[in-house]
Amino acid sequence: MTRAVGIDLGTTYSVAAIIENGRARVVKNAEGENLTPSVVAVTAQGHMLVGSVAKCQSSVSPERTVMSIKRHMGTDHRVSLNGRDYSPQEISAFILRKMKRDVETYTGESMKKAVITVPAYFNDAQRQATKEAALMAGIEVVRIINEPTAASLAYGLDREHIQTILVWDLGGGTFDVSILELGDGVFHVKAVSGNTRLGGDDWDERLVEYFADTFLDKIGLDIRSDPVTLQRLREASEKAKRELSYKPGARISLPFIKTGNGMPKNLEASIDRSTFEDITSDLREKLLGPTRQAMADSKLTAEELDRVVLVGGSTRMPSVRDLVEETFHKKPFIRINPDEVVGIGAAVQAGVLMGEIDGVVLVDVTPLSLGIETEGGLFARIISRNATIPTSASQIFTNAEDDQTVMDFHILQGEREMAIDNISLGQFQLTDIPSLPRGKAHVEVMFQIDVNGIVKVSAEELYTETKTGIRIDASHLLSEEEVEQVIREAEAHAEEDRSRRGEAEINIRADSMIRAAELFLEEKEGKLSSASKHRIEQCMLDLKEALSQGESAVIEERTEALRKMLEEL
Ligand code: ADP
Ligand code: MG
């Protein structure tokens, strides 16, 4: 039997999904990611690279990298790589070949057929070119389906008695609004609108400008003038943007940037969510025109829409979601990861066509974030809310004290910033950690959730490979109302949580500065003038006193004073 596979061949990211035991799931690629960047590059030696590796080299050799090829599908556009011309189909085939290989590695079977998605507005030539690309990659296309249809299938909307669905898709470089009508079990496209030059990249670019201006003010150097540095800033900005979707603030750090006088510098800057929302408000405004247009074309009012489905990674931005809610006066569907929902829907369609699915397809997600308590009582998220299960993720932690041979792990779920405000799921201990100075041990904490929602958490000290863990069964999972309650509370306390996290982080920085100073004094024992030694000790005392009094502004000021002094000496 041939397995049902669905592929979302996106402008910026592509996704492959399969049906396994009657459930749709995303297949991780060889790099362990759910999303594969739709990027192709060629090395100086003539080797083809696809996905994250290709994206990485784009900063060093943009002339040998191809991005966003989907924009040219169905045209006679050609790209030149290492002296050879390629059609858009050929470039897309490189991406599809990698997706095929990764699916085969995961399933252990050869992959022959797939359902592939395209935007609803794609014309015949563009659809034909997509088929050709698949053929070149050795994939037989069982059906080409529209992306908004796939998203609706992932939510099982074809099985509900509903009439009209609006799919709102904001991806990396494009924005599409589609209105679908369900009749006789088939989705008909009633209206499409959008902007093919508006997407997450524009939000990234705003952050790039903001940070570049900040550095210009700070060090008097415009880093936009150096293409490699600019690309590094672009990557850091995209990361900061993603963080701002679930945190009130983000920091970027660019180590070793060359400055005017030839001295390398570490550039650091931060931004909070409200500033980010301010500098991108006109971009949100631009989303309204096509939305109104699609509504007008369909001759429907907001009240007549039965469902609004959010698609595309950029709809993770809270301000974008709010805009949708304000516009349509209803809560949009976003339970399935918006950047995976089209791929999942393609797999569902493949499953139906290949007779693998008869009942309802289940797409399960983690209702709340899972993580552990870390230094200062902070909550470290390891698996974010709404990840499709089964899933796994890990993070490396280190010892907070010198010679710490035992580490306690407290597992929690919830959306609050401080561990104490979240729901405790269990605790365990890792013993026999080798005796090491603070910050030197490497302990990997791994979370795994299986198809039944059973959570396994393990911790492993990477050098000695000592390992232990805990299993938390599904009985701890909450009802839908309880989950909603948790999320409402997190939203209500967002401001207060943010300042508490800020305070905890200030204390952690102060603590580590004191330790750094102690180490410094130890190392320089006998080499420092007694005056310098005395100055450092006084600074340390001042900082410790501030810590005991708990005034964040004073702690921060004195941490900085101590840091400056250590740097000078
Ligand atoms: P495509 O345009 O290929 O369909 P996606 O739907 O995967 O791609 O969207 C990619 C965009 O989503 C990128 O601009 C990426 O930065 C953005 N994105 C992904 N995660 C987040 C997030 N947490 N917050 C904000 N933007 C995000
Ligand atoms: Mg997409």
Look at residue 45 in the predicted model and tell me its pLDDT: 86
Question: Is the pLDDT at 475 greater than 60, yes or no?
Answer: no
Active site residue 8: yes
Of 197-206, 472-481, 528-537, 548-557, the least confident: 472-481
Nearest Cα residue to atom 18 of ligand 1: 313
Residues forming beta bridges with residue 186, ordered by sequence position: 183
How many angstroms from the chain centroid is the CA of residue 85? 34
Q: Which of 169, 417, 497, 556 is catalytic?
A: 169
Nearest Cα residue to atom 6 of ligand 1: 312
Reported residue count of the chain is 569
Nearest Cα residue to atom 10 of ligand 1: 172
Cα distance between residue 171 and residue 51, in whole Å: 17
Residue bearing tokens 């009012």: 301
Distance of CA 13 from the midpoint of ligand 2 (Å): 7
Nearest atom in ligand 1 to the alpha carbon of residue 200 is: 14
Average pLDDT score over the chain: 88
Distance of CA 238 from the midpoint of ligand 1 (Å): 9
Question: Is the pLDDT at 393 greater than 90, yes or no?
Answer: no
Look at residue 207 in the predicted model and tell me its pLDDT: 97
Nearest Cα residue to atom 19 of ligand 1: 313
Cα distance between residue 141 and residue 269, in whole Å: 47
Backbone angles phi, psi at 105, to 5 degrees: -60, -40
Distance of CA 361 from the midpoint of ligand 1 (Å): 25
Nearest atom in ligand 1 to the alpha carbon of residue 8 is: 4
Pocket test for ligand 1, best of 203, 235, 314 (most atoms within 8 A of CB): 314
Q: Which of 20, 55, 70, 356 is catalytic?
A: 70
Look at residue 9 in the predicted model and tell me its pLDDT: 97
Residues forming beta bridges with residue 169, ordered by sequence position: 176, 311
Distance of CA 279 from the midpoint of ligand 1 (Å): 18
Residues forming beta bridges with residue 254, ordered by sequence position: 267
Active site residue 55: no
Active site residue 518: no
Cα distance between residue 67 and residue 345, in whole Å: 25
Question: Is the pLDDT at 340 greater than 60, yes or no?
Answer: yes
Nearest atom in ligand 1 to the alpha carbon of residue 12 is: 3
347-361: average pLDDT: 77
Question: Is the pLDDT at 202 greater than 80, yes or no?
Answer: yes
Using the CB atoms, write b or e for 49-83: b if 16+ within 10 Å.
Answer: bbbbebbebbbeeeebbbbbbbebbbeeeebebee
Question: Is the pLDDT at 357 greater than 90, yes or no?
Answer: no
Query: pLDDT tens across 118-155, in order?
Result: 998 888 889 889 999 999 999 999 999 999 999 999 98
Distance of CA 317 from the midpoint of ligand 1 (Å): 9
Look at residue 453 in the predicted model and tell me its pLDDT: 66
Query: pLDDT tens across 435-472, in order?
Result: 888 888 889 999 988 766 678 899 998 888 888 888 77
7-36: average pLDDT: 94
Pick from 238, 127, 116: nearest CA to 172: 238
Q: Which residues line ligand 1 (CB under 6 A)?
A: 10-13, 35, 171-174, 199-201, 238, 241-242, 245, 312-314, 316-317, 339
Cα distance between residue 25 and residue 30, in whole Å: 16
Distance of CA 339 from the midpoint of ligand 2 (Å): 7
For residue 481, count other CB atoms closer than 10 A to its CB.
Answer: 8
Query: pLDDT tens across 255-297, in order?
Result: 877 766 667 778 889 999 999 999 999 999 999 999 999 999 8
Cα distance between residue 564 and residue 556, in whole Å: 12
Cα distance between residue 87 and residue 77, in whole Å: 7
Print the SS3 string covering 311-369: ECHHHHCHHHHHHHHHHHCCCCECCCCCCCHHHHHHHHHHHHHCCCCCCCCECCECCCC
Active site residue 169: yes
Backbone angles phi, psi at 483, to 5 degrees: -60, -45
Put simply, whether the predicted model's pTM sits higher than 0.75 gets the answer: no
- CB under 8 Å to 354, separation ≥6 — which residues? 1, 2, 3, 4, 113, 142
Residue 522: in which H helix or E strand, if any? Answer: helix 494-523
Nearest atom in ligand 1 to the alpha carbon of residue 38 is: 3
Backbone angles phi, psi at 446, to 5 degrees: -115, 130
Distance of CA 409 from the midpoint of ligand 1 (Å): 32
Q: Which of 90, 102, 132, 147 is catalytic?
A: 147
Query: pLDDT tens across 412-440, in order?
Result: 988 899 999 998 888 888 888 888 888 88
Mark the residues whose beta carbon lies below 5 A from ion ligand 2.
10, 171
Helical residues (DSSP H) of 108-226, grouped into ranges: 124-136, 147-154, 200-219
Q: Which of 8, 176, 202, 204 is catalytic?
A: 8
Query: Could you give the 3-state DSSP secondary structure of residue 566?
Result: helix
Query: pLDDT tens across 72-84, in order?
Result: 999 999 999 988 9
Pocket test for ligand 1, best of 92, 175, 242 (most atoms within 8 A of CB): 242
Look at residue 277 in the predicted model and tell me its pLDDT: 97
Nearest Cα residue to atom 23 of ligand 1: 242
Nearest atom in ligand 1 to the alpha carbon of residue 15 is: 7
Distance of CA 107 from the midpoint of ligand 1 (Å): 27
Nearest atom in ligand 1 to the alpha carbon of residue 312 is: 6
Pocket test for ligand 1, best of 235, 339, 386 (most atoms within 8 A of CB): 339
Distance of CA 67 from the midpoint of ligand 2 (Å): 14
Ligand approaching nearest to the C-alpha of 201:
1
Pocket test for ligand 1, best of 11, 13, 35 (most atoms within 8 A of CB): 13
Share of the chain above pLDDT 90, in %: 50
Output the DSSP codes for 246-306: TSSEEEEEEEEEE-TTS-EEEEEEEEEHHHHHHHTHHHHHHTHHHHHHHHHHHT--GGG-S
Of 354-363, 386-395, 481-490, the least confident: 354-363
